[in-house]
């Protein structure tokens, strides 16, 4: 088993590798692969149900086609709408363009409804697709380090059923052996990982 190294060192390692190896051509391919893997999940939902996702940027696992398919299926899509505070907004299908896919997540009024985590919990959402720099087999997720998702999810009341499935999006080389990532008490565990080559896998805390 790899030894546990610090979160900042791991973030640098994975961001450097993304910058070096994830090309624009791979990004185009990854968009379709991610959508193909997620399609059965979307097909299991009824129009009007709610899914949370994110607007990818740079070398993140790309979500444009996934989000387009969520909207085309008549599902509601909520995405982060603030880089600092854990706030979400509902994305209107007519506002969904590639121009939104930049580091600076859109602020209201581009998003029709603004909400905090506890409002999100009330929507009864089924899936949360969230970015990760890495995950390990014990369901631990490494994020960008701002604590955004850990705080946002802490407000989502994930302990009481029905709870949404948390699906982390990573590149294939970022799915790590059990115990590789440092685990702190505030870290929100994820249920599944969806990789940029289109592999959807359940993670197991055992
Ligand atoms: N697409 C996307 N949206 C997201 C996140 C994300 O990781 N990806 N977030 C996830 O939390 C939240 C926003 N938090 C973010 C925190 C840091 C960086 C960022 O780019 N950090 C730089 C380092 C900045 C520095 O310290 O100098 C980096 O990682 O290169 C981006 C988003 C909500 N929205
Ligand atoms: N529920 C919370 N309430 C308050 N602070 C929190 C909470 N969760 C995490 N934090 C703080 O956020 C900071 C970053 O946490 P951590 O290093 O685990 O980020 P991360 O999980 O990698 O990133 P992210 O959650 O943004 O994807 C830490 O200082 C941590 O104390």
**pLDDT tens digit sequence for 96-111:** 999 999 888 777 666 7
Is 161 strand, coil or helix?
A: coil
Model-level pTM greater than 0.90?
Answer: yes
Buried b (16+ CB within 10 A) or exposed e, 95-125: bbeeebbeeebbeeeebeebbebeebbebeb
Q: Is residue 84 lining ligand 1, measured as CB closer than 6 Å?
A: no
Work out which ligand 2 atom sits closest to the CA atom of 153.
1
Q: How far is the CA of 46 from the centre of ligand 2 (A)?
A: 33
Q: Nearest C-alpha to atom 6 of ligand 1 is from which residue? A: 131
Residue 139 has pLDDT above 60, yes or no: yes
Contact 50, 75 (CB under 8 A): yes
Dist. CA 31–CA 168, nearest whole Å? 15
pLDDT tens sequence across 58-99 = 999 999 999 999 999 999 999 998 888 888 999 999 989 999
Ligand 2 atom at shortest distance from the alpha carbon of 131: 27
Ligand 2 pocket, residues with Cβ under 6 angstroms: 7, 142-151, 154, 184, 186-187
Alpha carbon of 113 to ligand 2 centroid (Å): 25
Q: How far is CA 140 from the centre of its chain?
A: 14
Whether residue 91 contacts residue 78, with contact meaning beta carbons closer than 8 Å, is answered with yes
ipTM of the complex: 0.93
User: Is 39 buried (19+), middle (13-18) or exposed (0-12) by CB count in 10 A?
Assistant: middle
- Rounded to the nearest whole angstrom, what is the distance from the C-alpha of residue 52 to the centroid of ligand 2? 19
Ligand 1 pocket test, candidate residues 60, 148, 188, most atoms within 8 A of CB: 148
The band of 203, judged by pLDDT with boundaries at 50, 70 and 90, is: very high
The SS3 assignment for 87 reads strand
Q: Is residue 165's pLDDT more than 80?
A: yes
Between CA 39 and CA 35 the distance in angstroms is 6
Residue with the nearest Cα to atom 9 of ligand 2? 147
Structure-block tokens of residue 58: 């740079």
CA distance 32 to 147: 29
Closest residue (by CA) to atom 19 of ligand 2?
Answer: 145
Task: Report angle CA 5, 8, 14 to the nearest 5 degrees.
Answer: 85
Return the DSSP state at 181: S
Judged against a pLDDT cut of 70, whether residue 12 lies above it is answered with yes
Whole-number pLDDT of residue 112:
76
Angle at the Cα of 62 from the Cα atoms of 100 and 122, rounded to 5 degrees: 70
Do 170 and 193 touch, CB atoms closer than 8 A?
Answer: yes
Q: Which ligand sits closest to the CA of 59? A: 1
Q: Token pair for residue 80?
A: 């982060």
Separation CA 179–CA 139 (nearest Å)? 9
Q: Does the C-beta of 98 come closer than 6 Å to ligand 1?
A: no
Cα of 43 vs centre of ligand 2, distance in Å, is 33
Q: Which helix (H) or strand (E) holds 113?
A: strand 113-116
Q: What is residue 60's three-state secondary structure?
A: coil
């Amino acid at each position: 088993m790899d030894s546990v190294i610090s979160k900042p060192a791991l973030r640098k390692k994975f961001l450097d590798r993304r910058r070096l190896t994830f090309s624009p051509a791979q990004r185009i391919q990854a968009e379709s692969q991610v959508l193909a893997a997620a399609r059965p999940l979307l097909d299991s939902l009824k129009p009007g149900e709610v899914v949370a996702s994110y607007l990818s940027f740079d070398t993140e696992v790309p979500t444009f086609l996934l989000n387009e398919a969520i909207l085309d299926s008549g599902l509601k899509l909520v995405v982060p709408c603030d880089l600092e505070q854990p706030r979400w907004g509902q994305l209107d299908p007519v506002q969904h363009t590639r121009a939104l896919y930049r580091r600076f997540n859109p602020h209201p009024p581009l998003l029709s409804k603004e909400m905090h985590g506890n409002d999100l919990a009330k929507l009864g959402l089924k899936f949360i697709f969230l970015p990760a720099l890495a995950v390990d087999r014990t369901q631990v997720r490494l994020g960008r380090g701002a604590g955004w998702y850990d705080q946002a999810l802490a407000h989502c009341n994930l302990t009481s059923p029905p709870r949404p499935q948390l699906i982390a999006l990573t590149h294939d080389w970022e799915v790590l052996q059990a115990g590789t990532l440092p685990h702190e008490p505030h870290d929100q565990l994820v249920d599944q990982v969806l990789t940029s080559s289109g592999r959807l896998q359940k993670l197991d805390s055992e």
